[in-house]
Amino acid sequence: PAAGSAGFALDEQVSREARALRGTPRFSQATSDAELGFPAGANQFSCAADIDVDAVKTPALYRLLERSRIDASAATKAAKNQYQRPRPFMVNGEPTCTPDDEAGLRKNGSYPSGHTSIGWAWALILSEIAPDRADAIQARGRNYGESRLVCNVHWQSDILEGRFMGAAAVARLHDNAAFNKDLLTARKEIADARKAGLHSSRDCAAEEAVLKVRPESAL
């Protein structure tokens, strides 16, 4: 959105609300959500999907999430390079939840959000292979992107466009034979885990409570 526009006014409003969450459990969750590296990143949706993702026990699901992370991230690069939008912390001068990453983030455009693209792609994929958990997974996809607002590294409009990019990436992946093969195998892995009575080992009640806190004006 252009400076002075209604869209940018909303970006600024949401940013103020998100920054007010610094020092709260929601900020700590946002810091955790910033981690995309595997194996840790594989379980960002563990509670939502109610399963522990493991390279040995659920190899197809692990592979599916790891590969789609790369694709969903790549989908945002051309726009990032084109717009080179300054990130919120570069404008408001306040810290982020990942200070060690700030130097690199300054060189990486804010629009659209790569983390949100990845999170929304994961939400769509997991909803397809674990439809019994679709509502929780979709909610996690939304608040995963909103963690970038709380981290002070993205604007609201970056998040919204990131969702579109993630959805577009998944649509393209459905034309890929290897993706579809992993999708079917991952669905079976989840079904087998359900039959065995396996669940996420995380403190999901605590995570759910924390993630209910969000910037009031966020879309």
Mean pLDDT value across the chain: 97
The CA distance from 8 to 23, in Å, is 26
Write down the domain spans for the chain: 6-211
Does the domain at 6-211 match CATH 3.30.565.10? Answer given as no
Residue given tokens 């939840």 in the structure block: 97
Residue 13 confidence (pLDDT): 98
pTM: 0.97
Non-local (6+) Cβ contacts of 80 within 8 A are: 108, 109, 110, 111, 112, 114
The set of catalytic residues is 115, 148, 154, 158
Contact 155, 11 (CB under 8 A): yes
pLDDT per position as a tens digit, 155-190: 999 999 999 999 999 999 999 999 999 999 999 999
pLDDT per position as a tens digit, 36-92: 999 999 999 999 999 999 999 999 999 999 999 999 999 999 999 999 999 999 999
Give whole-number Cα distances, 29 to 13, 15, 58, in Å: 21, 17, 25
Q: Is the peptide bond before 39 cis (omega within 30 degrees of 0)?
A: yes
What is the rounded average pLDDT of the residues 204-217?
A: 97
The CA distance from 145 to 137, in Å, is 13
**Percent of all residues in the chain with a pLDDT value above 90, rounded to a whole number:** 100
